[in-house]
Structure 1
């Protein structure tokens, strides 16, 4: 697919929708305006490029520089990149200020952003800061705005310590399953979209028994929102916090 077409798919929704639609559905913001501004610049450049790339070269995918303190993905190569949009889930022992929320996993849809990560890393980094404000599509298999990304799979917890990434979305799209465990974490950078309580950590995960496919490691980066309040005061026994993040899948 020519990169110009990849870019045009990102703005298909914006071209068709009135500004009131953005205000009501997308909370049109400075971040979203900047995103579409960059997309327009890239479209203009692609139109004048006589030899545009026709494929999404995954070898060009790299982690954000802020993740440099994580172990380097040596001996493996990037396979996919996805935008994750869902909730971080928590529990409270009681509803007083003496208790603190305890993480009990996450649930998210994963949208295929491999081509964007390979060719437009600056756009990739911007996506979570926009996406966490956008409601999940009512049709699970619908594309996710603002980049018109197609559903790639689902993220949830197999048990209390095992994040699972099931990328077998449909019979025609079987990308495997990554069963993982946490190896390292990193506080989100100061410019992350904090939501009400802050952005969740960046994570380095490695695969475990039960993995289907060549996956070896998964990185959660560019997190937006997702952190809980500091105490459980006034909160129910279980609750969710909206979040978004980019996920990079490496294997061999």
Structure 2
């Protein structure tokens, strides 16, 4: 009996549907905790982080071994100060980010690497449309957290997989067709980044933020004073 292999698009659609059907399942009795004693199951040797959208600008190439691919979902955070005579039209200033890091490697065992990369690239613009309160209630595997420490350094805690306190070494604009925010509305996708160890890291030495969706702030404060949270999602590729 002959069989017909599904098209790549159909394969990706089915896998996305499978992944996010988890969100519709019954909630856990308590919020899901990071899987600190587990490692991504896929063979990551066949995967290479995208460092450019095909334009002339590119991020530095990774120097280590790929350790994890995660999907970040959270907020980029900004603050607006009151207008003064010196700054009559203040603009939002970044004060960091806060995100959960979800393990997407469970999908990568199911398909060839060439299709796996295309699959995970679709996840940020998909997941940004789910409210954080819903995402955090259901059993999507959480492998770690991203936040800024008291010194203002971007920090990534992946439990037993490693800990990275980082500094930026490269950035390029998100592609022009990147998802600008929830419901394809917003001020744009934050830059793609390359960050390396800023000292004190364990088991991780480099991370790339790519395939970003949303996260950019409004261009001006327009009289607003206070903090602003902008929803975003992105892929984070970790190396050591």
Q: Structure 2 CA distance, aligned partners of 1:142 and 1:229?
A: 31
Instruction: Choose from 72, 80, 104 the match for 1:92.
Output: 80
* 8 Å Cα contact 1:81/1:117 also seen in 2: no
Instruction: Choose from 109, 112, 124 the match for 1:128.
Output: 124
Runs of 4+ in 1 over 3 A off after TM superposition: 7-10, 12-17, 115-119, 137-142
Structure-1 residue corresponding to 2:42: 56
Instruction: Tell me the TM-score normalised to structure 1 length.
Output: 0.70
Q: Structure 1 CA distance, aligned partners of 2:22 and 2:213?
A: 26
- Larger helix share, 1 or 2: 1
Bigger RCO of structures 1 and 2 (CA < 8 A, at least 6 apart) = 2
User: The residue matched to 1:66 in structure 2 has which SS?
Assistant: coil
Question: Per-residue CA shift, 1:66-89, capped at 9, x if unaligned?
Answer: 267111113x11110000000000
> Which ranges of structure 2 fall in alignment gaps of 5 or more residues?
1-10, 25-40
Count of residue pairs the alignment pairs up: 198
| 2:115 is the alignment partner of 1:108 | no
Q: Structure 1 CA distance, aligned partners of 2:99 and 2:174?
A: 19
Shift of 1:138: 5.1
Instruction: Tell me the TM-score normalised to structure 2 length.
Output: 0.73
* 8 Å Cα contact 1:207/1:216 also seen in 2: yes
> Which ranges of structure 1 fall in alignment gaps of 5 or more residues?
18-54, 145-149, 169-173
Could you say if the C-alpha distance between residues 95 and 113 of structure 1 is closer, same or farther in structure 2, counting changes exceeding 3 Å? farther
Q: What's the RMSD between the two structures over aligned residues? A: 2.8
Q: What does 1:1-252 correspond to in 2, within 5 Å?
A: 11=18, 14=21, 56-64=42-50, 66=52, 69-74=58-63, 76-94=64-82, 98-116=89-107, 119=113, 120-137=116-133, 140=136, 142-144=138-140, 150-159=141-150, 161-168=152-159, 174-195=160-181, 196-213=186-203, 215-251=204-240
Shift of 1:60: 1.2
* 8 Å Cα contact 1:87/1:241 also seen in 2: yes
Shift of 1:8: 6.3
Q: Structure 2 CA distance, aligned partners of 1:16 and 1:161?
A: 33
